Amino acid sequence: MKDAEPRTAGDLPLDVFDPAPVGVAVFSGPDHRLIYMNYAYQEIVGERRLGAPAREIFGDISQEGYFSLLEQVRETGKAISLQELPFEYGDHPSAGRERYASASLSKITLEDGEDGVLLMAVEVTSEVEAAQVIGSVADERRRFLQRYQSLLQIVTQATWVTGPNGQVNEPSVGWQRYTGQSWEEYRGHGWLNAVHLDDRKPTIDRWLDTVRRLARWEHVLRLRTPYGAYRHVRARAVPIVENGELVEWVGAITDIEQEWAEERHRELLDQAAAATADLADLNDVLTALSQVIVPAVSDGCGIYLLPEMEDESIPSPFFAERVANTVRDGLLTRPPLRTERFEPDSDFAEVIRTRQPIRTTFPPGAPPPGAPPTGTEEWFAAVEANSTALVPVVVDGAVAAVVVATICGDREPLSAADVDLLGRMLDHAHAHLSNAMRFQRTQRVALALQNYLLPDPPQVPGLEIAARYRASATAAEIGGDWYDSFVSPDGSTILTIGDVAGHDLGAAVTMSQLRNMLRGLAMDRREPPGDILRRLNIATELLDDEDTATCILARVEGQDEGARWVRYSVAGHPPPLLVTHEGEARYLEGAINPMLGVAYDMPRTTAVASLPPGSTLLLYTDGLVELPGEHLDAGLERLRCAAASMAGEPLDAFCDLLLTRLPMARKDDIAMIAVRLPGA
C-alpha cells in the first residue's frame, strides 16, 4: 500500500517492500507521520490513514508507551529490536484480544533528506499462544525481515542471494533481465560468465576474500547485457547472521555506466591537460597525448602532423608526418615514425576537409581498403585490429594533426562515445597545443635564419662533405652553434665547428662574427690551425669581453689519390672523431687548448693525424653527446661506438642515423660536419 506519490528511502523506492511477507511501515518527521505501509502491515494493524501523525492514527492502541520508541530511534539513530510484544487495537477485528508481535525499528533518511523511522513487524500471536518453537514459516519471515533491513543500505537494481559459501543458490529475476542469463547459467559461480573477461579474476578474488572475512562487499565490474554490450555496475553484498551463525549473503547490482563514464571522462581530460602542461615542442605534446589515449581509450595511437596549408584546399597528393606512436603493453610496435603520402580522396583527407572524425569497425585483422592510414596496413592485420577512428586536431582554427586510434583483437570496438571522448581530450589540451604551435612557428623562423647563416659545404673533388644542424626542441630563438667549410687558396679543405655560449640573438650575432673572422683569417695566410685560432682569440677582444666560445679548426691536406692527413687545433671543444672504413673509431686528442675568450695572447698548439682511405672525420657540437646528469665521457663513448657501427653507411645516412639513433636531451642545438675520403 502506497501514498499518492511514490516515496523512497535514499535511492530505494519504498514499494520494493509491497510483496514482503513481513509488515513494513515508514514514519516521517518529528511527529512521526505514517507515509507508507505494505499489505502485510495492514493485516496486522487494520486500515489506517496515510499522512497523519502516529499518535492520531494509532490512538486506539492500548500500549501507548510504544510511541516513545519512535522518538528514541529518530533522536539517537540506534535501532531497537523487540520480541513478542503484546498489543491490542480497539478498531481492529480482533479487538479485545491481546496479540503479540516481534518488531524492529531503524532510523532511515528519506529522499528529501528528512529523517524517518522504518518499522518491520511479524505477528507471532499464534506461536506465543501455542508456546511452540518458531517453525520454518517464522524462520522464513524473520529472514525476510533481515534481508529487507540489509537492502535499505543497498541501491538495488537486481538482487541476488548466495549460500554461506558465496555460491548463488536462488534465482533472481532482476539478474536474468539485466544479463540474459538463465537460472541454470547463473547458479553457483556461473554468474562469472557474464562478467567482462578482464574483470573476472579481480572480481572473484575480492568476492571470495570477502566471504572468508565475513565483511561487507562493494566492487565495480563490467557485466554483459543481453545485447552483448558491457556496462559498469556496482555490486554490493552483506552477510545475514542469525544467532551468531552465517545464514546467507544478500546482494544487489546497480548500473553506474553513466556515472562511471562521466568520472572516467573527467580523469582523462585532466590527464591530457596535465601531461601536456610543461611541454613546448609540438611533437612532445602530441606524444604525451598519445600516451594518455593508450591504453585508456585505445590499444594503439598514431598521430600525424600536417604541413601548414595556405588555404583550405588539400594538394594532390599531400604528405603528413607520423610524429607519435604508442601501443599498449604486449602489442606489436606500430610502424616507425616517418612521413607518409596520402591521396586527396582518402578517409584521412576527408577528416581534414570536413573536420569531422571517421570511425570504422570491421572483422579483426580485415580492415576495408582505405581504413588503415598509409604504411600501417600490415600492422592492422598483424595485431588483428577490429576498429579505428580518425580524429582531427583543430588548433587555432586549422587542422594541425590527425589522431588515429585503434582497438585490436576480441576487445570491444571503438564506440561513438569513445570518439567523442577523444575529441574532448584534444579540446581540453587546446591551450597547450596552441602554445606548442606558436612555439613551432617561431622556431621555424629562427631555424630558417640559422640555416641562412650556415652555408652549404663546398664541392671538393675526391672528398664527400656533409653537414647537419638540428635546433633545440625547447628553445624558440636562434642558437650559437655553427659549422663552416671552404677551400683555401692552396687547395686544402678547411673544416670548422664551434659553439658560442648562450641561446639567443646575441649568441647568434657572436657566432656569425666569429665564423666570418675565422674564415677571413684562414684565407689570409697559410699557417698552423693553432696560430689561426690564437689570432682569432685576440680578435675576440673587440667583441663582448664576456663572450666565450669553443671551436675546432681542421685543414685536410694531401694529394687527390695519395696520402691525406689533417692538421687541427681544438679550443675547448669536444674532440674530432676519426672512423675508418673497417669500423674502427678513435678520438683525435691532440692540440687541446683553452676555449676562445680567455688567455687572449696565449700560444695554441696544432696536431697532425693521418686519414686512411675511406675514413670519415666527424666534427660535432656537445648537443650530440651530452645528457643531463651523465658524465661527458659516457656520451663520447656512446658516439664512438655508434659511429663505428655505421662506418659502412653512405655519408648522408651516417649523419642522419647519428641524429636519430643516439639519445639526446634535445635542449641544445646540434651541429655536425663530416668529411669522407675516397677508398683505396
pLDDT digits (tens, 9 = 90+) for 193-210: 999 999 999 999 999 999
* Residue 203, φ and ψ in degrees, nearest 5: -70, -50
C-alpha cell at 626: 651530452
| Rounded Cα distance, 662 and 641, in Å | 10
Q: Which of 489, 561, 490, 483 is nearest to 515 (CA)?
A: 483
C-alpha span between 591 and 571 (Å, rounded): 8
* Residue 621 main-chain phi, psi, to 5 deg: -100, 170
Residue 360, SS3 per DSSP: strand
Domain ranges of the chain: 8-151, 158-255, 260-441, 454-676
pLDDT tens per residue, range 460-505:
888 999 998 877 654 444 567 888 999 998 889 999 998 887 655 5
For 263-316, how does the pLDDT look when each residue is reduced to its tens digit (9 = 90+)? 888 888 888 888 877 776 777 888 888 999 999 899 999 999 887 765 556 777
pLDDT of 160 strictly over 90: no
Yes or no: say if 645 and 653 are a contact pair by the CB < 8 Å rule: no
Burial class (CB in 10 A: 0-12, 13-18, 19+), 660: exposed
Q: Report the largest interatomic distance among the alpha carbons of the chain, rounded to a whole angstrom.
A: 135
Distance CA 475, CA 646 (A): 30
Q: Is 644 helix (H, G, I), strand (E, B) or coil?
A: helix
**Which three three-digit cell numbers place residue 666?**
634535445
* pLDDT tier, 152 (very low <50, low <70, confident <90, very high otherwise): very low
User: Binning pLDDT at 50, 70 and 90, where does residue 154 land?
Assistant: very low
Phi/psi for 386 (5° steps) reads -115, -10
How are the residues of the chain apportioned to helix, strand and coil, as percentages rounded to the nearest 5?
Answer: 35, 30, 35
Fold of 260-441: Beta-Lactamase (3.30.450)
Query: HSE (CB half, 13 Å, CA atoms) of 620?
Result: 26
Q: What CATH architecture is 454-676?
A: 4-Layer Sandwich (3.60)
With 0.75 as the threshold, say if the pTM is over it. Answer: no
Q: Which of 386-395, 439-448, 567-576 has the lowest mean pLDDT?
A: 439-448
Half-sphere exposure of 586 (CA within 13 A, CB side): 10
- 246 with 164: CB under 8 angstroms? yes
pLDDT at 545 (0 to 100)? 60
> What's the rounded Cα separation, in Å, for the pair 88 and 98?
5
Q: How many CA atoms lie within 13 A of 561 on its CB side?
A: 0
Name residues whose C-beta falls within 8 Å of residue 671's C-beta, 6 or more positions apart in sequence: 454, 467, 468, 469, 481, 482, 483, 497, 499, 620, 621, 623
Question: Would you state the pLDDT for residue 547?
Answer: 73
CB contact at 8 A, 584 and 617: no
Helix (H, G, I), strand (E, B) or coil at 673: strand
In whole angstroms, give the CA distance from residue 553 to residue 549. Answer: 13
pLDDT value, residue 384: 95
> Does the domain made of 8-151 have the CATH classification 3.30.540.10?
no
- Number of Cβ within 10 Å of residue 457's Cβ equals 20
Choose the CATH number for 158-255 among 3.30.360.10, 3.60.10.10, 3.40.640.10, 3.30.450.20: 3.30.450.20
Range in 145-149, 236-240, 516-520, 574-578 the model is least confident about: 145-149
Residue 134 clears pLDDT 50, i.e. is over it: no
Q: And the C-alpha cell for 373? A: 592510414
Alpha carbon distance 570, 553 (integer Å): 7
Pairing state of beta strands 592-593 and 564-571?
A: parallel
What amino acid occupies position 364?
Answer: P
32-41, 104-113, 374-383, 518-527: least confidently modelled range: 104-113
- Alpha-carbon distance of 400 to 430, in angstroms, equals 11
Query: What confidence score (pLDDT) does residue 132 get?
Result: 46
Q: Does this chain's domain 158-255 share its CATH topology with 454-676?
A: no
Give residue 501's pLDDT.
Answer: 75
**Amino acid found at 134:** I
Q: Is 90 exposed, middle or buried (0-12, 13-18, 19+ CB in 10 A)?
A: exposed
What pLDDT is recorded for position 453?
55
